[in-house]
Structure 1
Amino acid sequence: MTHESTTDWTGRVLRLEVAGPAHGGEFVARHEGRVVFLRGGITGETVDVLIEDDPGRSFCRGTVTSVITRSADRVDAACPAAAAGAGCCDWSHIDPSAARGFVGRVLAEQAVRIGGIDLPEGTVPVDVPGGDPAVTGWRTAARWVTGPDGRPGLRRARSAELVTDPCVQPDPRILDAVSSAGIGPGREILGLLGDDGTVHIAHRPAVRDAPRGGGRQTRRSAATRARARHSRAADWEFVTGGPDVVRRVGRHEWRLPPQAFWQAHRSAATHYAAAVRTAVARTPGLPDAPVVWDLYGGAGLFAAAVLDGVPGARVTVVESSSASVGAVPSSHAAPDADGDPASGGDVTTVRSRVEAFLEDEVGSARPGAHPAPDVVVLDPPRGGAGIPVMRRLAELTRMRIVHVGCDAASMARDVGELVSAGWTLRDLRGVAAFPGTHHVEGIAVLDAPRGR
């Protein structure tokens, strides 16, 4: 009997040359034939890395402990929480312009490798949301957990341990309100800044950590399921502000419950609305009263944007969250020249999972069945829409699909499915909606095959 030897570098400090960024925020280096994923480095640097996680396979993970050769893109990290090990501002040590270049490379690499999309430029342009260059104080929605002493903190990267040093992402008004709230131990805290300037602070029992047994992947899955169940609960106890949060984009206003989704960056909703409005309005051959689906539509941000650009559009918002669907205004029709609502445009809401909507609601002969769309806008969660959904949309949609994605890999898979079905990728760009971090969102615009 032979025994396969297992490599374990845990605890070792390796001197490495940092290569390119990887999907997920780490950078890549190589040592003795193995890949090292590392936090805290930048392409081109020579660094010392402490190996903290080694599963014994072809890769391991570590954190930079010292920089031997410094990149010109390195800046002084602005976030005390990240410096103390929290998993928040993991790229705050990288110049923002350079960081956008790195995430553009990641978007392009995922599009090519996962989506099979030909991108000869080798990168994807990444925009600053709404032209807002702030790298601190941009977040209008944030969460904390209080430890046994009642102090609010963030989770340490790859750990359940709390870091109580402040993060620089939230608007200072939220930080001040959380610091003075005096909330007790074992609580999850939600801080929201409405677009009317109101600060909302609420708390509830913190979700319990995942059990330690069963391996890291099992623990991660258990924790994800626990957080998902917890996020659906509406048991927030408000200290300040109350449960209705005002959100505004242009002339539109929403009053949202705390569990309804909204963009965290103060300028992101405006940025995405403008991009979707332009993409839909410029669809070649678009009729005056097109059928538009807003899938995973939340509170109807994109429905409003569509009707701003195409006042006669008939928009169906499909969303599974009752909190979000309940906040969709019944009409977002753009005003006419006299300032009155224009006729023709309307919004219909469907509370449903997108998969069920496509299976049960479309193409039926029964009265009230939804007609196939001219244009689809979709903004799926991090896991993406998935291949079955994208295949169905490729079959049903007559003219254009606008995909807003919050994960480079899942978006590449979704968009690649359309490209393989003969759709043409007209535009692909990123949005740096989480400055100081590796997270990037994307917007893809695709046109149906000719002859539809």
Structure 2
Amino acid sequence: MSGDWTGQRLELEVDAVAHGGHCVGRYEGRVVFVRHALPGELVIAEVTEDRGGSFCRAEAVEVLRAAPGRVQPPCPLAVPAGCGGCDWQHADAPTQRRLKADVVREQLSRLAGIDRAVEVEELPGGTLGWRSRLRLVAGSDGGLGFRAYRSHRVVPVEEHGCRIAVPGSVDEVLGRSWRPGTEVAVTRDSTGETHISASEGPGGRARPQQLRGGTAHERAAGREWRVDAHGFWQVHPHAAGTLAAVVGEWAGASAGAHTWDLYAGVGLFAAVLAEQVGHSGSVLAVESARGAVESGRRNLADLPQVRWKRGAVHRVVAARPARAPEVVVLDPPRKGAGTRVVRSIAGAGARRVVYVSCDPAALARDLATFAGAGYRLRELRAFDAFPMTHHVECVALLTTEQAAMDRDGSTSH
């Protein structure tokens, strides 16, 4: 078979899981990335995208031989040509976590040369009803929905709602007509209050109009937080507290120490570091978003040891503040920190680095750069903070060889 395969149906043996919510099959020497399949299955896959070259994309429209762990998706929209928000509704929860662990392990091995067993840990609450922040879009008929996978096509959700959303959170925005193209953001905070904003214009790019609420109340790290309801905060109700606890355990900053919190957001991890270093220590919190910095300053006003610096992280850390940090915590965006930031952290002499990542490929690339600067991966935990999707949250502890020896009292690797 030659030419454009789009629309063709192929019988495939499905191989390993791949990063991005699909599995790998092969047909006539080409790689086929197949959604809605599981490793070990025999499927009929319909090609949905073929741009030539060595691979194409497809969806499993018929399962001829099912793998253990396959289940009926709880949402009728989580099917081929359906909603693109969920990747693994056709797998039970243990299978989802195993697939994510396989992805993390493969990315670490391939991109960083690190061979390590990985377990993805479950957060409380199960796989449904967890997502506290959503963004919907109005279709041509004015009804709200979600985008199809790799498409601008809107899949209506009026009849079915969203099964992974916190129950009741989207009820107020469904059942009414919106201007086509309007993006509607919905947040349910820790108090149960629902916050709604809408952005009109092409692609929802106009300034958002707050329709209800606006300041979310959250709880994590032993503190109450007042944050922009549609700004950055973990979408799983238990994620922020879980990550803060792990960061605190691994940071272990000394009283009076100097520390950095990079990509600080509203200061969740800065608060953890501040409690450890005390008033005689300091925390440099670096964040580029003006609103997040303003929110962070208000939320951490009782912690004067936190000093905020607004700006691009790579520029701030390249300035090399005079006092070397004992610990650096970083939680970069999905693309990772990148070579410049990693080398600046290493050049500043940080003895321990706690790296929070929502993308295993970006994490692995940055770990490889850290390794070249003399750091090794000491600990790794992964959490299923986004059930039903391919996303996974990882926390890595990196130490210099000297710091590892000081902590272990040995030279063992």
**Does the residue aligned with 1:325 lie in a helix, a strand or coil?**
helix
Q: Matches of 2:57 and 2:20 in 1, distance apart?
A: 12
Instruction: Tell me the CA shift for residue 77 of structure 1.
Output: 0.4
* Superposition map of 1:364-379 within 5 A: 371-379=323-331
* Residue number in structure 1 paired with 2:103: 106
* Residue number in structure 1 paired with 2:76: 80
* Residue number in structure 1 paired with 2:149: 157
Q: Matches of 1:300 and 1:188 in 2, distance apart?
A: 28
* Residue number in structure 1 paired with 2:224: 253
CA deviation vs aligned residue, 1:165-208 (integer Å, no higher than 9, x gap): 33212112212122256544331101011212111111111543
Instruction: Tell me the CA shift for residue 10 of structure 1.
Output: 2.1
Structure 2 residue ranges without an equivalent (≥5): 407-413
* Residue number in structure 2 paired with 1:448: 400
Give the conservation status (yes or no) of the 8 Å contact 1:201–1:238: yes
CA deviation vs aligned residue, 1:308-361 (integer Å, no higher than 9, x gap): 44545411110000010011146759xxxxxxx8xx97211110110110223x
Is residue 197 from structure 1 mapped to residue 192 from structure 2 by the alignment?
yes
* Residue number in structure 1 paired with 2:67: 71
Give the conservation status (yes or no) of the 8 Å contact 1:307–1:332: no
Q: Which of residues 260, 265, 270 is equivalent to 1:303?
A: 270
| CA separation of 1:385 and 1:250: change in aligned 2, threshold 3 A | closer
Q: Matches of 2:178 and 2:23 in 1, distance apart?
A: 38
Give the conservation status (yes or no) of the 8 Å contact 2:143–2:175: no
* Residue number in structure 2 paired with 1:214: none
**Does the residue aligned with 2:243 lie in a helix, a strand or coil?**
helix
Q: Which one has a larger percent strand, Structure 1 or Structure 2?
A: 2
CA deviation vs aligned residue, 1:135-188 (integer Å, no higher than 9, x gap): 111011100011232211111112111101332121122121222565443311
| CA separation of 1:311 and 1:181: change in aligned 2, threshold 3 A | farther
Q: Matches of 1:183 and 1:271 in 2, distance apart?
A: 37
Q: Matches of 1:137 and 1:49 in 2, distance apart?
A: 30
Instruction: Tell me the CA shift for residue 443 of structure 1.
Output: 0.9
* Residue number in structure 2 paired with 1:406: 358
Q: Matches of 1:29 and 1:352 in 2, distance apart?
A: 44
Instruction: Tell me the CA shift for residue 90 of structure 1.
Output: 1.3
* Residue number in structure 2 paired with 1:167: 162
* Superposition map of 1:201-280 within 5 A: 201-208=196-203, 230=205, 235-240=207-212, 242-280=213-251
* Residue number in structure 2 paired with 1:438: 390
Q: Matches of 2:402 and 2:85 in 1, distance apart?
A: 45
CA deviation vs aligned residue, 1:211-263 (integer Å, no higher than 9, x gap): xxxxxxxxxxxxxxxx8xx4xx7x322222x2211121143122222442111
* Residue number in structure 1 paired with 2:305: 346
* Superposition map of 1:348-363 within 5 A: 348-360=307-319, 362-363=320-321
* % identical aligned pairs: 38
Instruction: Tell me the CA shift for residue 113 of structure 1.
Output: 1.0
Q: Matches of 1:104 and 1:261 in 2, distance apart?
A: 25
Is residue 143 from structure 1 mapped to residue 114 from structure 2 by the alignment?
no
Amino acid at match of 2:92: D
Amino acid at match of 2:401: P
Over aligned residues, Cα RMSD in angstroms? 2.2
| CA separation of 1:7 and 1:162: change in aligned 2, threshold 3 A | same
**Does the residue aligned with 2:363 lie in a helix, a strand or coil?**
helix
| CA separation of 1:206 and 1:405: change in aligned 2, threshold 3 A | farther
Regions of 4+ moved over 6 Å:
none
Q: Which of residues 39, 49, 52 is equivalent to 2:48?
A: 52
| CA separation of 1:148 and 1:398: change in aligned 2, threshold 3 A | closer
**Does the residue aligned with 1:430 lie in a helix, a strand or coil?**
strand
Q: Matches of 2:110 and 2:215 in 1, distance apart?
A: 43
Q: Matches of 1:397 and 1:168 in 2, distance apart?
A: 46
**Does the residue aligned with 2:15 lie in a helix, a strand or coil?**
coil
Q: Matches of 2:372 and 2:98 in 1, distance apart?
A: 27
**Does the residue aligned with 1:445 lie in a helix, a strand or coil?**
strand
| CA separation of 1:250 and 1:265: change in aligned 2, threshold 3 A | same
Give the conservation status (yes or no) of the 8 Å contact 2:283–2:306: yes
Superposition TM-score, scaled by structure 2 size: 0.91
Amino acid at match of 2:119: P
Q: Which of residues 414, 417, 421 is equivalent to 2:369?
A: 417
Q: Matches of 2:178 and 2:197 in 1, distance apart?
A: 9
* Superposition map of 1:379-390 within 5 A: 379-390=331-342
Structure 1 residue ranges without an equivalent (≥5): 209-226, 334-340, 364-369
Instruction: Tell me the CA shift for residue 449 of structure 1.
Output: 2.5
Give the conservation status (yes or no) of the 8 Å contact 1:260–1:321: no
Give the conservation status (yes or no) of the 8 Å contact 1:260–1:298: no
* Residue number in structure 1 paired with 2:409: none
**Does the residue aligned with 1:172 lie in a helix, a strand or coil?**
coil
Amino acid at match of 1:81: L
Give the conservation status (yes or no) of the 8 Å contact 2:113–2:368: yes
Give the conservation status (yes or no) of the 8 Å contact 2:16–2:39: yes
* Residue number in structure 2 paired with 1:127: 121
* Residue number in structure 2 paired with 1:217: none
Q: Matches of 1:206 and 1:270 in 2, distance apart?
A: 36
Give the conservation status (yes or no) of the 8 Å contact 1:141–1:264: yes
Q: Which of residues 375, 380, 391 is equivalent to 2:343?
A: 391
